[in-house]
């Protein structure tokens, strides 16, 4: 192996949160009361210098808009039965006598939440001239596909930034050599709400969405008896970010070099995406935040937060994280079929 090949083999992407721009980065902001629609996406009200030294360096910066899907029928069922009964019993089923939550669809409330996001984006585009996403990635689960469609359809987007989402399930073979898949999904296993529909169903319902190569018709990774651990999901989300940033920034791919002109700009990087949209799930977004060193910031259904991140290719192998094994569903310590007691009684 020559020296250049060794160098390429021992580098990895280092991704970190850049604080000082958004309220959601600050420990003083309460996620329970935070409202992205009344705080301009949480942008801190201060003077911003377009010549910020951090943005003039060769290090790529990305703004990642992370949107949680609107309320789904599984959310309603979990609230109705309670988390203990849901996790040990009801989440294993496709539904009950009145509702179906296999690959859960949005409720009317969930659709309304996505419409709120659409109206907010429209206002931000018109009044604030907000930079819109240049690349859109969506979980293959129906509630995210539907949320993204309602949120971004009909907006006055720039002609060079259309809503052209990619369903993110498999990594780009040109970037990642391993066969890791299901990148942008919620935790895998046991819960039927997190088992996706066949590809032919997705194509029929969302024909304009781009499907990545290698996307199989049946769901290849969902299993009925084990649930992905949180630490395993953090590793999966880091792989997602590695893939997305390499896809949207060719200069970050292994083996490619970056050269700057005299004005501090990178030559030959046309088509790179600085503003990226991820439409996903509460657990997935939580693990993305962990992977980038962000504070915990749980999102309500339908909520959106942007985060500014620094992305660097650094020398050395990526540290090997400690990953817990997947686990079976918890044993029921209550009768999960007993009629729930209404709140307040």
* Helices 230-248 and 282-291: angle between axes, nearest 10 degrees: 70
In the residue annotation, 69 being an active-site residue is answered as yes
DSSP type of residue 124: I
**Residue 322 near residue 271, CB atoms below 8 Å:** no
Q: What angle do CA 177, 183, 185 make, to 5 degrees?
A: 165
Q: What sign for the dihedral angle of Cα 164, 129, 241, 60?
A: positive
Tokens 């005299």 sit at which residue? 262
Annotation says 200 is catalytic: no
Q: Tell me which H or E stretch contains 142.
A: helix 142-152
Considering 69, 74, 105, 191, which one is annotated as catalytic?
69
Candidates 146, 169, 186, 228; catalytic one: 186
Cβ–Cβ under 8 Å, residues 23 and 41? no
Q: For tokens 């360096």, what's the residue?
A: 57
Q: Give the position of tokens 């309304």.
A: 112
**What 3-state DSSP class applies to 59?**
coil
Instruction: List active site positions.
Output: 69, 186
């Amino acid at each position: 192996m020559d020296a250049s090949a060794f160098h390429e083999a021992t580098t990895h992407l280092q991704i970190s949160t850049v604080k000082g721009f958004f309220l959601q980065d600050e420990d003083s902001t309460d996620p329970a009361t935070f409202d992205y629609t009344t705080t301009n996406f949480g942008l801190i009200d201060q003077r911003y210098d377009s010549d910020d030294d951090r943005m003039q360096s060769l290090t790529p910066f990305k703004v990642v808009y992370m949107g949680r899907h609107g309320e789904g029928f599984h959310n309603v069922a979990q609230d109705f039965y309670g988390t203990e009964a849901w996790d040990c019993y009801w989440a294993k089923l496709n539904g009950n006598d009145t509702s179906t939550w296999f690959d859960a669809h949005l409720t009317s409330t969930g659709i309304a939440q996505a419409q709120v996001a659409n109206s907010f984006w429209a206002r931000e585009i018109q009044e604030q001239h907000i930079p819109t996403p240049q690349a859109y990635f969506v979980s293959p689960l129906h509630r995210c596909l539907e949320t993204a469609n309602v949120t971004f359809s009909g907006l006055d987007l720039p002609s060079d930034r259309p809503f052209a989402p990619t369903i993110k399930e498999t990594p780009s073979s040109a970037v990642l050599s391993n066969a890791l898949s299901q990148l942008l999904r919620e935790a895998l296993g046991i819960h039927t709400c997190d088992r996706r529909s066949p590809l032919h169903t997705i194509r029929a319902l969302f024909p304009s969405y781009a499907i990545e190569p290698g996307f199989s018709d049946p769901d290849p990774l969902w299993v009925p008896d084990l649930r992905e651990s949180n630490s395993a999901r953090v590793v999966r989300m880091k792989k997602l970010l590695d893939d997305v940033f390499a896809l949207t920034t060719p200069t970050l791919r292994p083996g490619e070099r970056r050269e700057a002109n005299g004005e501090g700009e990178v030559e030959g990087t046309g088509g790179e995406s600085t503003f990226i949209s991820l439409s996903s799930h509460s657990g997935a977004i939580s693990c993305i935040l962990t992977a980038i060193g962000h504070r915990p910031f749980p999102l309500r259904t339908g909520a959106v937060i942007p985060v500014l991140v620094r992305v660097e290719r650094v020398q050395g192998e990526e540290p090997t994280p400690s990953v817990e094994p997947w686990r079976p569903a918890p044993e029921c310590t209550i009768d999960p079929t007993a009629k729930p007691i209404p709140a307040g009684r």
